[in-house]
Amino acid sequence: MKKISAVILVLLAGVTSSCMTATAQERGAVYKPSAENIAARHWFQDAKFGIFIHWGVYSLMAGAGEKDVAEWVMEEKQIPIDKYERLATFFNPVKFDADKWVQDIKASGAKYITITSKHHDGFAMYDSKVSNYNIAKRTPFKRDILKELKAACDKAGIKLFFYYSQLDWHHPEYYPRGRTGNVYTGRPQSGDWDSYIDYQNAQLRELLTNYGDIGGIWFDGWWDQEKGPMKDRWRLSETYKMIHDLQPQALIINNHHVAPYPGEDVQPFEQDLPGENDAGFNTTFVSNEMPLEMAQTMNGSWGFNLVDDRFKSTKELISALVGAAGRNSNYLMNTGPMPDGQIQAENIKTFHEMGEWLKIYGESIYGTRGGPIGPRPWGVTTNKDKTIYIHILDWKDGEIFIPLTDIKIGDATLLGKDEKILYEMTDDGVIFKIDREALQNWDMIIKVNLL
Ligand code: GLC
């Protein structure tokens, strides 16, 4: 007995130490971004605004009549794999027109698109050779929508990123499983984790070799194993190295909700302004070295939901874009196209309204970085060269005090009107006299040119 438990202890110790080594390796790996990667990061930060697209066979279920269900329908309605697979045989989005998508998205003022290449359901929205569980092989539609979207993006000068779920509710070797995709799926209670990671990397290799230069890869699903046995067994360093070797400019973004791992290029925040963590699952750590990105839904759903009409107003979405920019972050705004291939009309309308706003006020967003004054209850500041933009999102009075010191103001104007704004310098900052009418704007922007 004793001998056996000693053997078990030794074995356990081996497992623990190999896990710890894996963590230490992933966390401690030295990553020096290449020159191409650094240039891509600058491009990304200048671009400021992207559109997220969640589209897959789950879109057919349209949330199954529930507001809070969408791309998670397989898990939330406990649909076994053999039944879920039938969805693919109905997926025939005959109204899909990549050029139309890109035109409407471009009209919003967004500079890049991030689209789901494979979500947690494991279904690839492109012609993958390593698995036939994909749009080209399993649907009557047969077309590789990523290829079409990439061609449309290239024509329009929009960069394309691929979302890729590390978590997979369909692949039999995704085992041991984490907190989702369990018994109901009908998968065997065994599997070879490493062969799943090999599969994942083979799919990523396809995405990085068959679609020309891409903006990057947006990972999701790591959190499935956060409290699970495979937490440190994703082989992140190997995967990230492969991506950067294939395309040095490709930015790696991982929505794991923890502090960034070496090899990652952008820190994302889900449904939250960086550092705020109102959603409750984001980290409060905010990198001051890497670009940041906040992802948000236009209603309450990532994938298409038939009954979710909690659409945020254009004013709210603009405030989120501005709030992100003032926190030195990009804004990735999500739309869930319908199963017929069209983007929801409500979203298209909003795209155009945002684009109209950006045509006038875009100079205070694009190419800027977080300004000298951190977020305040009234709003934020952004900065480009010798110009500071003061974004007043919520203020009611005729004067506002901004704690800007040690500056020499050349002039201050109301952006969009080119009217001079009166101001008074004090020892602690500047008091701007406000045009009360302009306070009605979604965002009243004082443009301060420094000498
Ligand atoms: C979450 C969800 C996922 C969604 C993602 C977008 O991780 O699990 O469905 O794609 O957020 O940020």
**Chain segment 160-181, per-residue pLDDT in tens:** 999 999 999 999 999 999 999 9
> Given this model, what pLDDT does residue 25 score?
63
Asked whether residue 156 falls in the same domain as residue 300, the answer is yes
295 within ligand 1 shell (Cβ under 6 A): yes
- Do 329 and 414 share a domain, yes or no? no
pLDDT of 6 reads: 38
Predicted local confidence at residue 291, as pLDDT? 98
In SS3 terms, 104-162 reads as HHHHCCCCEEEEEEECCCCCECCCCCCCCCEHHHHCCCCCCHHHHHHHHHHHHCCEEEE
* Burial class, 371, CB count within 10 angstroms (exposed 0-12 / middle 13-18 / buried 19+): buried
Nearest-atom index, ligand 1, CA of 119: 10
pLDDT of amino acid 29: 79
Residue 19 has pLDDT above 70, yes or no: no
Q: What is the mean pLDDT of residues 207-215?
A: 98
80, 185 Cβ separation under 8 angstroms: yes
pLDDT of residue 440: 86
Residues 322 and 176 in one domain: yes
Residues 6+ apart with CB under 8 A from 32: none
108: left (phi over 0), alpha (psi -120 to 50) or beta: alpha
- Determine the Cα–Cα distance for residues 210 and 136; give it in Å rounded to an integer: 15
Mean pLDDT of 308-316: 98
Please indicate whether residue 71, judged by its CB atom, sits closer than 6 Å to ligand 1. yes
For residue 92, pLDDT over 90 is answered with yes
Q: What is the mean pLDDT of the chain?
A: 94
Task: Give the separation between CA 331 and CA 47, rounded to whole angstroms.
Answer: 9
Q: 408 C-alpha vs ligand 1 centroid, how far in Å?
A: 45
> Which stretches of 48-124 are DSSP H helices?
73-76, 81-90, 98-107
Pair 86, 138 in one domain: yes
Q: Phi and psi at residue 83, in whole multiples of 5°?
A: -80, -45
Res. 7 pLDDT band, cuts 50 70 90: very low
Place of tokens 């994909």: 134
Side chain identity at residue 4, one-letter code: I
- Is the Cα dihedral 260, 261, 264, 270 positive or negative? negative
Same domain, 4 and 125: no
Q: Verify that 6 and 69 share a domain, yes or no.
A: no
Supply the residue whose CA is at minimum distance from atom 1 of ligand 1: 220
pLDDT at 418: 80
- Residue 275, class by beta-carbon neighbours within 10 Å (0-12 exposed, 13-18 middle, 19+ buried)? middle
pLDDT reported for residue 22: 59
Same-domain check for residues 382 and 320: no
**Residue 322: helix, strand or coil by DSSP?**
helix
Amino acid at 59: S
- Cα(434) to centroid(ligand 1), Å: 41
Residues 410, 362 share a domain: no
pLDDT band (50, 70, 90) for residue 28: confident
- pLDDT value, residue 9: 39
- Residue 377 has a pLDDT of 96
Of 169, 255, 271, the one to substitute when testing ligand 1's pocket (max ligand atoms within 8 A of C-beta) is 255
SS3 329: strand
Phi, psi for 450 (deg, rounded to 5)? -90, 155
Distance 53 CA to ligand 1 centre (A): 11
Last residue of a domain, one of 341, 369, 397: 369
Q: Which domain holds residue 16?
A: 1-30
Average pLDDT value for residue range 194-214: 98
Counting the structural domains of the chain, the total is: 3
Structure tokens at 215: 């903006």
CA 184 – ligand 1 centroid, Å: 21
Domain match, 148 and 267 both: yes
Which pLDDT does position 429 carry in this prediction? 97
Q: Is the CB of 270 under 6 A from ligand 1?
A: yes
310, 415: one domain: no
Same-domain pairing of 359 and 436 = no
Of residues 9 and 402, more confidently modeled: 402
The pLDDT of 89-112, averaged and rounded, is 98
CATH number at residue 387: 2.60.40.1180
**pLDDT confidence of 26, banded at 50, 70, 90?**
confident
Indicate which CATH number applies to the domain containing 248.
Answer: 3.20.20.80
365 pLDDT higher than 50: yes
Is 4 or 171 the better-scoring residue by pLDDT? 171
Q: What is the pLDDT of residues 385-434, one digit of tens each?
A: 999 999 999 999 999 999 999 999 999 999 999 889 999 999 999 999 98
pLDDT at residue 2 greater than cutoff 60: no
Q: Which residue has the higher pLDDT, 27 or 57?
A: 57
Closest residue by CA, ligand 1 atom 5: 220
Same domain, 411 and 350: no
Q: Categorize the per-residue pLDDT at 75 as very low, low, confident or very high, splitting at 50, 70 and 90.
A: very high
In this structure, are residues 256 and 223 in contact, taking their beta carbons and an 8 Å threshold?
yes
Quickly tell me which residue has 């959190």 as its tokens.
223
Question: pLDDT grade, residue 23 (50/70/90)?
Answer: low
